[in-house]
Structure 1
Amino acid sequence: MITTIALDLDNTLLNSNREISAENEKVLKQLHEAGKRVVLCTGRPLGAVQHLIKQLELTKPEDFTITFNGGLVQNNVTQEILNQTTLNKAEVEMLYQDAKLRNYPLDVLGPDKVYSLIECGKSDYESFMSGMIPFEDVDFADLPADQTFGKVVSSAPAEKVSQTRAGLPQNIKDNFHVVPSRRELLEFLPASVNKARGLGQLLTYFGETLDNLLAFGDEENDLEMLQAAGIGVSMGNAVPLIKEAANAETLDNNADGVAVYLKRYFEL
């Protein structure tokens, strides 16, 4: 039985205006009130999705969000951390050295702000986040050594992101899970982290398995989640890899694809 609905955000639940449509909101609230868990599952930090949690009223004691692409499982109400996997400064330094050598930008996501490594060049990541989380421009030497970090990203034109990924040295491939979350954003996660792992930890907490999961996604960082879910649904706008991995396909993110599939599946 499906107990849990997991939703990627950008280009899945959110339309091209980066909003939850009225129809998607209505259907998800209806299912949540009927007892289904609705779990936002995103690469963003929790502070950048609070407005969406509020909009969908995901504020019951058992409501959680998966952030940092599976690296952080956190309760929406108490902020209790169920599970967390992070990077340290020494690991970030591997990326910094390669970025300096091959000239690509890096932003490091800390617990309460994003650090832009300005020596690598300022990216457009801050403008993309539109004030949802604070940013600070720093030299690598000034990156706090006593903090841990959720992930590192490289935001650049799609061709640059593709070149960056293709040329990564073996030490980075061995120590990070490297995956794009859109054509213009390459993400460097702790090696063991993906959305399926975070969702598996959450469902285990509730005494369930990934067979109880229905998940929606569109991009490569959703791959493991859709493969592991009892039902994995690709958006009509998903990349070919995701469409091949999914059990089902729905309409695109600008045509209420999430609501369309849920209404049909749950016979609403």
Structure 2
Amino acid sequence: MIKLIAFDMDGTLLNSKGEILKESISAILNSKNKGCKIVLASGRPFDALKKYLHQLLLCSENEYSICFNGSKIVNNLTKEVIFFKKLDNFNISEANKLSKELNLSLMAYSKQEEILYEDLNDDILFEYNLTKNPLKQVMFNNYQEEVIKILFSSTKENIDRTYNLIKNKYSQDYNVVRTHDKYIEIINKNVSKGNALKYLLSYLKINKEDTMSFGDNDNDISLLLTTKYSYAMKNSSSSELKNIATEVITSNDDIGIAQTINKFFN
């Protein structure tokens, strides 16, 4: 019996218009009514998930979301943070210099979940429009406060070109993940969606054998490896994700998620 389903959001549960398909909502609510826990596992901050939590009726006691790619687990009702790992000892001044050399935009999330930036541009505004978290202009060369995560952003072509360079530079000390065509994120070395889900499964006393997950990008690999049944979206560009998944289902614009859930609950 499936007792918990974890969903990545962008490119997975959300279609290309940023909406949850009505078929997916119906299937999720049906599984929830039969006792299954639903967990949204996203790179987004918690506030950027609220709209979808309300749509899926996930604002009751003992329901949780995984945010910032596993850096935080938040109680959907009380907003209590039951798990949190910040980015330790990161040289943001050095990253700022690198971003300018590689023609990348640099952002960070403060512990207060503000979007930190130095120069406002379309990349920064894209993130703001996605999350609606407050913007805060800073000088990165002088910035000393702790952050949750770092984001490099640019065009898909430039991210394709620079991803391995950034990964090689930082992956020994940090977790470097590609979370979107436009983004490379740097988070705590021990942080991932999979590690956060392991913590939550232990907290809720749910066995891996009773779990399912859906994802579409490299930052979802750990999530899919943590559950018994795992599903990669057809629109995923990650061959590794597709290789480790139980099955590759239809794209995020089709009804594959609903069909998969209904196999277990109808």
Please report the TM-score for the alignment, with normalisation by the length of structure 2: 0.91
Matched letter for residue 257 of structure 2:
V
The answer to whether the Cα contact below 8 Å between 1:39 and 1:65 also exists between their aligned partners in 2 is yes
Partner SS state of residue 49, structure 1: helix
Any stretches of 5+ residues in structure 1 without a counterpart? none
Who is 2:155 aligned against? Answer: 157
Distance of aligned partners of 1:69 and 1:178 in 2 relative to their CA distance in 1, 3 Å threshold: same
Any stretches of 5+ residues in structure 2 without a counterpart? none
Distance of aligned partners of 1:142 and 1:29 in 2 relative to their CA distance in 1, 3 Å threshold: farther
Who is 1:259 aligned against? Answer: 258
**Match runs of 1:1-268 below 5 Å:** 1-88=1-88, 90-110=90-110, 111-118=112-119, 122-130=121-129, 132-141=132-141, 143=143, 145-146=144-145, 148-168=146-166, 171-239=169-237, 240-266=239-265, 268=266
Select between 178-187 and 4-13 the one with higher mean Cα deviation: 178-187
Distance of aligned partners of 1:10 and 1:170 in 2 relative to their CA distance in 1, 3 Å threshold: closer
Distance of aligned partners of 1:258 and 1:98 in 2 relative to their CA distance in 1, 3 Å threshold: same
Matched letter for residue 228 of structure 1:
T
Select between 59-68 and 255-264 the one with higher mean Cα deviation: 255-264
Partner SS state of residue 96, structure 1: helix
- Aligned-pair CA distance for 1:170: 5.1
The answer to whether the Cα contact below 8 Å between 1:215 and 1:225 also exists between their aligned partners in 2 is yes
Query: What CA RMSD, in Å, does the superposition of the two structures yield over aligned residues?
Result: 1.9
Distance (whole Å) between structure 1 residues aligned to residue 216 and residue 90 of structure 2: 32
Distance (whole Å) between structure 1 residues aligned to residue 41 and residue 226 of structure 2: 14
Distance of aligned partners of 1:161 and 1:171 in 2 relative to their CA distance in 1, 3 Å threshold: closer
Matched letter for residue 241 of structure 1:
E
The answer to whether the Cα contact below 8 Å between 2:149 and 2:185 also exists between their aligned partners in 1 is yes
The answer to whether the Cα contact below 8 Å between 2:92 and 2:140 also exists between their aligned partners in 1 is no
Distance of aligned partners of 1:169 and 1:48 in 2 relative to their CA distance in 1, 3 Å threshold: closer
Select between 63-72 and 30-39 the one with higher mean Cα deviation: 30-39
- Aligned-pair CA distance for 1:65: 0.1
Matched letter for residue 253 of structure 1:
N
Matched letter for residue 28 of structure 1:
I
- Aligned-pair CA distance for 1:18: 0.3
The answer to whether the Cα contact below 8 Å between 2:73 and 2:82 also exists between their aligned partners in 1 is yes
Select between 207-216 and 75-84 the one with higher mean Cα deviation: 207-216
The answer to whether the Cα contact below 8 Å between 2:93 and 2:141 also exists between their aligned partners in 1 is no
- Aligned-pair CA distance for 1:29: 1.4
Select between 102-111 and 127-136 the one with higher mean Cα deviation: 127-136
Distance (whole Å) between structure 2 residues aligned to residue 125 and residue 28 of structure 1: 33
Matched letter for residue 6 of structure 1:
A
Matched letter for residue 32 of structure 1:
K
1:125-177 deviations in Å (ceiling 9; x for gaps): 4224416212223221464x34x322111121112112222223755222221
- Aligned-pair CA distance for 1:85: 0.7
1:171-201 deviations in Å (ceiling 9; x for gaps): 5222221111122211111111111000001
The answer to whether the Cα contact below 8 Å between 1:152 and 1:187 also exists between their aligned partners in 2 is yes
Distance of aligned partners of 1:94 and 1:205 in 2 relative to their CA distance in 1, 3 Å threshold: farther
Distance of aligned partners of 1:205 and 1:167 in 2 relative to their CA distance in 1, 3 Å threshold: same
Distance (whole Å) between structure 1 residues aligned to residue 181 and residue 147 of structure 2: 23
Number of residue equivalences: 263
The answer to whether the Cα contact below 8 Å between 1:94 and 1:172 also exists between their aligned partners in 2 is no
Please report the TM-score for the alignment, with normalisation by the length of structure 1: 0.91
Partner SS state of residue 166, structure 2: coil
Partner SS state of residue 171, structure 2: helix
